[in-house]
């Protein structure tokens, strides 16, 4: 059963669409293909978890866009939220 979703295929976080427990298999569809990973901790419904390992300082992407930077190394299956995402205001003028 699908219990997560990814907004854009290039995102490195997925969104829990069911309550997820530590050790649960997280299943989501990415570009038509079913993908799985293991939750490393409990994830509240609609919160984010890392789809892959994200090194400290790397951008965190959702909606295909940067939403912030990894404040520390984040492992696939970890909860991604205020404790490990550093807010970062990008200058987007040249991207418009």
CA distance 12 to 57: 14
Q: Is 26 a residue that touches another protein (CB under 8 A)?
A: no
Is residue 70 within 8 A of residue 54, CB to CB? The reply is yes
**What would the two tokens of residue 61 be?**
């992407």
Minimum separation from the CB atom of position 55 to another protein (A)? 18
Listed ranges 20-28, 32-40, 43-51: which one lies at the site for another protein (CB under 8 A): 43-51
Q: Total residues at the site for another protein (CB under 8 A)?
A: 28
Q: Give the C-alpha distances (Å, rounded to integers) separating 6 from 50, 73, 74, 95.
A: 10, 21, 17, 23
Q: Is 41 a residue that touches another protein (CB under 8 A)?
A: no
**Chain contacts with another protein (rule: CB under 8 A):** 2, 5, 7, 15, 17, 44-48, 62-63, 65-68, 80-82, 85, 87-90, 92-93, 95-96
């Amino acid at each position: 059963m699908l219990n997560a979703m990814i907004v854009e295929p290039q995102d490195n976080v997925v969104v829990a669409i069911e309550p997820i427990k530590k050790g649960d298999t997280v299943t989501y569809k990415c570009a038509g293909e079913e993908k799985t990973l293991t939750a490393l901790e409990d994830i509240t419904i609609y919160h984010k978890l890392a789809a892959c390992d994200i090194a400290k300082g790397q951008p965190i992407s959702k909606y295909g866009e940067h939403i912030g930077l990894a404040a520390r190394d984040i492992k696939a299956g970890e909860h991604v939220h205020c404790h490990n995402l550093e807010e970062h205001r990008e200058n987007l003028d040249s991207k418009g």
